[in-house]
Amino acid sequence: MNLNIDAQKDMTYDAIVVGSGISGGWAAKELTQKGLKVLMLERGRDIKHVEGYTTATNNPWEFPHRGRVTTQAAEEYWANMRTGYTANEEWRHHFENDSLNPYIEKRPMDWIRGYHVGGRSLMWGRQSYRHNEEDFMANLKDGIAVDWPIRYADLAPWYTYVEGFAGISGSKDGLSVLPDGNYLPPMQMNCVEKEVKARVEKAFGKRHITMGRTAHLTDPKAVHTELGRAACQYRNQCMRGCPFGAYFSTQSATLPAAVATGRLTLRPDSIVAEVLYDDKKGVATGVRVIDQNTLQTRDYFAKIIFLNASAFGSTSILMNSKSSRFPNGMGNDSDQLGRNIMDHHLGVGASGDFEGMEDQYYYGRRANGVYVPRYRNWDGDKRDYIRGFGYQGGASRAGWNRGNGADGFGADFKESLTKPGPWSMGLGGFGEVLPDPNNRMTLSPDKKDKWGLPLIVFDAAYGENEKKMRKDMMNDAVEMLEAAGLKNVRGYNDESKHLGIGIHEMGTARMGRDPKTSVLNKWNQIHAVKNVFVTDGAAMTSASCVNPSLTYMALTARAADFAVKAMKRKDI
Amino acid sequence: MNRRDALMRVATLVGATVALPALGHSAMADTLEASAAQRVATGKPVLFTADQDALVADLADVIIPTTNTPGAKAAKVNEIIDVVLKDCYKKPDQQRFIDGLTQTQKMSQDAYGKTFSQLDNAQRIEIMKKLEADAKAQKAEMARAVAGQQDVQIPAAKRNVTPFFSMLKDLTLMGYFTSEIGATQALEYVAIPGRYDGCVPLKPGQKAWAI
């Protein structure tokens, strides 16, 4: 019997982290650095830093279809095709084949996944903003959903902490709507962006244009270089994986930091089917894992479990974790598990042509743009909807592909396309989506994936508040570009997309003060299972309109700190 | 790590990736790359006949001729058009392109009694102008059909198709400006810029960035 005891010992860790993306990487780093022996489970394949980025240094002519999507890939990557970019040949191998990983759409949902070590930290947009003080009080003030159990002051020191390690470049603008952080130097605006900024800020006193705050090393510090990270080289090929480790990802930053402690075990190809629960002790004891290749099942055990499998991933694991205590899924006493799906709604804004500055150009490819912080329903403004939106945008000179829309061919036509084209600038909105309990996911009672796990069923859609907001999102963009003197300004409002298209899925296991109306407490613990923490997008109580990943990082670091202290106190 | 070290690291990486199958993480990649690999290995077109392949090379060279930099034919644009049409276009679109090639040869024969490749440069340009005008007319007709004009008789399925010339031009520009010749000679290509300068005065004769 000794053999079995030893085997069980081998499968036992201080902590298990489920998922290796942005928040899972942070959980692994923090918990190992605080002395815990950690098992990090990743459902997908391994991708090694640098050597695993198979297309990172390809020249344009080295792609068999020059980046275009084959008809076969278009069929297989049917959800990715809805984004218009994630299925491209340059980085398609970092996204999931949707036909092999199906889900059910009672109402349409655009679910874009990255099942591999690093998760979507390899392909994320890298824009990094703090929620502001109002964001944490918005539900309370509006009387909707539930109140956040934390305030900005609870998270502020953790924002500062994660910004320092991740390396966020940005300018400090002193705006309460977009709190300043712990930044590396900002990237530069180009000539037209500077001019449009000046004109917009003059025309609209309360609207601002700032440089995008992004997780790129513009001036690396020792904390970055000692992990092998280097400064951004301005290639703008980030989604292929960065051979310089210049943007924050699990591979470039949190994974090497966790590995350096000697206390991390990373196990790819390990799909977590459920969290194991001991009815007598009232605690989670471990997780059940299915090997994605061999389909073999193994159990792993730990004192604490961090779920960081992405919002829908973590929630589906909890839903599948049934026991006599939790017949409807672990931690689902409130019936809120799976509800309140949020995202940011986009595909709305404007673009126009800038006349002049023909003698100005730029050097390098900046994987970043400008940002217009929220100004609607802010500082005295009041609309017929609640919450607000920000814009990401940028100016550039047209390239050779302007030839497709133009008449002509031949020598003069060719020569004209070898010159920089006219300037144009665009602003694309990112709007807050309200939590709605009817926007939900459930598990299919009968349909299963190839690993025998139930498929997720989505039943969610944008609401009236979002639709009203979109009118402002388009009209305001037109108004600002016109005020800045741009010509031929074209507004757009593409309503053909669905929740999920922002790839910012949030909610489904919200934080709250009351176990009757929320799944997680203020430390991201499941109210009724104190040794299970959920610190990915599932935890979000409201969405704000800013990109969410930085908040997941801060929540994770904060929860890990709490968890280790609680373990030392023997509270969990 | 300074920039030099970082570049050394990428140099090592380039060495490493050569030994790896590109996009080699799934069996799927093999089938997705098969056409390009087949074209390179056999030197033969994967969709076109040899005649069609030669015609596409000549047509593309009218759209992007050799000037002070090499043109579309030198950049072997016909090869990437062949592969992309085969792998990235649906059957009806492939057929429309092939039909367009047939129609172009017929126009050439009707006008000059010669195949397109036997025409002189001025005659080739005349044919291309005719193709461009036909495409414009077709687009205008489709727009009128969509707008519900009574006198237009176009079946619903054919009201939103890309005319042959537009397909040819799109594929030629893509094939040329993403080729090594197009990107590095007609345009300026910098693989690793190393920095970003937001405002740089344009130098006389400066070319556009390739990407």
CB contact under 8 A, A366 and B89: no
Measure in Å the smallest separation between the Cα of B201 and chain A Cα atoms.
5
Nearest to A417 by CA among B45, B172, B54: B172
| CB A467 within 8 Å of CB A114 | no
In chain B, residues with a C-beta closer than 8 Å to the C-beta of A167 are none
Reported as a pLDDT band with limits 50, 70 and 90, residue B149 is confident
- For A367, the closest chain B residue by CA position comes to B196
Name which of B62, B83, B199 is nearest A64 (Cβ-Cβ): B83
Q: Alpha carbon A218 to chain centroid distance? A: 21
User: Which residues in A lie closer than 8 A to residue B166 (C-beta atoms)?
Assistant: 404
Q: Could you tell me the pLDDT band of residue B1, with boundaries at 50, 70 and 90?
A: very low
Condensed to tens digits (0 to 9), the pLDDT of residues A136-183 reads 999 999 999 999 999 999 999 999 999 999 999 999 999 999 999 999
Report the gap between the CA of A481 and the closest CA in chain B (Å).
20
The partner residue sitting opposite B10, judged by closest CB among A68, A243, A418, is A243
Closest to A505 in 3D by CA, of A374, A338, A375, A271: A338
**B31 interfacial to chain A (CB closer than 8 Å):** yes
The secondary structure of B180-206 as a DSSP string is HHIIIIISB--S---S-EEEEEPPTTP
Among candidate residues A399, A63, A421, A400, the one with its CA nearest the CA of residue B63: A400
Q: What is the mean pLDDT of residues A232-252?
A: 98
* Average pLDDT of the segment spanning A309-318: 98
Binary contact (B35, A220; C-beta < 8 A):
no
Q: How confident is the model at residue A237 (pLDDT cuts 50, 70, 90)?
A: very high
CB A69 within 8 A of CB B88: yes
Q: B42-55: per-residue pLDDT in tens?
A: 989 999 999 999 99
> Beta strand pairing status for A297-307 and A264-267?
unpaired
pLDDT the model gives residue B33: 66
Q: How high is the pLDDT of residue B20?
A: 35
Find, in chain A, the residue whose alpha carbon is nearest to that of B33: A64
Q: A365–B209: do the CB atoms touch at under 8 Å?
A: yes
| Chain B hits for A361, Cβ within 8 Å | 200-202, 206
Facing B199 at nearest CB: one of A54, A92, A362: A362
Please list every residue in chain A whose beta carbon sits closer than 8 Å to the beta carbon of residue B25: 45, 54, 93
**Hey, is the C-beta of B192 within 8 angstroms of any chain A C-beta?**
yes
Confidence of residue B56 (pLDDT cuts 50, 70, 90): very high
For A369, the closest chain B residue by CA position comes to B198
Question: Are A233 and B3 an interchain contact pair (Cβ–Cβ within 8 Å)?
Answer: yes
Q: Check residue A244 and give its pLDDT.
A: 98
Pairing of the two strands A454-459 and A104-105: parallel
Q: Which one of B168, B196, B211 makes the best mutation probe of the A interface by having the most chain A beta carbons within 10 Å?
A: B196
B13 to A58: CB separation less than 8 angstroms, yes or no: no
Q: Is the dihedral of CA B31, B36, B41, B42 positive or negative?
A: positive
Chain B residues touching residue A190 (CB < 8 angstroms): 198-199
The predicted pLDDT at position B7 comes to 46
**Does the pLDDT value for residue B27 go beyond 80?**
no
Per domain, the residue ranges of chain B are: 46-186
Contacts of B192 in chain A (CB under 8 A): 233, 235
Q: What is the pTM of this model?
A: 0.94
Q: Do A97 and B3 touch (CB under 8 A)?
A: no
Chain B residues close to A188, C-beta within 8 Å: 196-199
Q: Do A409 and B132 touch (CB under 8 A)?
A: yes
Phi, psi of A76 (to 5 degrees): -70, -35
Q: What mean pLDDT is predicted for residues B187-191?
A: 98
Contact A361 B20 (CB under 8 A): no
ipTM for the predicted complex? 0.94
Helical axes B77-88 vs B27-42, angle rounded to 10° = 150
Chain B residues with CB-CB distance to A400 below 8 A: 173, 177, 187, 208, 210
**CB neighbours (10 Å) of residue A398?**
18
CA B49 to chain centre: 17
CA distance A549 to chain B (A): 25
Of A61, A359, A366, nearest to B183 by CB-CB distance is A61
Closest CA relative to residue A387, chosen from A397, A400, A374: A374
State the DSSP string of A492-539.
EE-TT--TTTTS--B-SS-B-S-TTT-SB-TTSEETTEEEEEE-SGGG
Which residue among B84, B180, B193 sits closest to A235, beta carbon to beta carbon?
Answer: B193
Query: For A400, which residue in chain B has the nearest alpha carbon?
Result: B177
B202 vs A358: CB contact, 8 Å cut-off? yes
Assess whether pLDDT exceeds 80 at residue A5: no
Provide the pLDDT for residue B25.
41
- pLDDT tens for A334-360 read 999 999 999 999 999 999 999 999 999
B201/A361 CB distance under 8 A: yes
Please indicate if any CB of chain A lies within 8 Å of the CB of B196: yes
- List, for residues A197-213, the tens digit of each pLDDT value: 999 999 999 999 999 99
Nearest to B84 among A68, A244, A364 (CB): A68
CA dihedral A213, A219, A221, A224 (to 10 degrees): 70
From the list B87, B175, B208, the residue facing A70 with the nearest CB is B87
Mind telling me how many Å the CA of A293 is from chain B's nearest CA? 13
Asked whether the beta carbons of residue A361 and residue B206 sit closer than 8 angstroms, the reply is: yes
Cβ distance of A420 and B10 shorter than 8 Å: no
Is pLDDT above 60 for A3?
Answer: no
How many interchain CB pairs under 8 A, A with B? 215
Give backbone dihedrals phi and psi of A398, rounded to 5 degrees, phi first: -60, 145
Rounded CA separation A183/A171 (Å):
7
When pLDDT is averaged across residues B72-93 and rounded to a whole number, the result is: 97
Both tokens of A89, joined, read 């040949």
Test B192 with A233 for CB contact under 8 angstroms. yes
Are B180 and A59 within 8 A, CB to CB? yes
Q: Which residue has the higher pLDDT, B160 or A91?
A: A91
Taking the C-alpha atoms of residue A241 and residue A349, their distance in angstroms, rounded to an integer, is: 29
Establish if B140 touches chain A: CB-CB under 8 angstroms.
no
CB-CB under 8 Å, B33 with A409: no
Helix axes B121-146, B164-177, angle to 10 degrees: 120
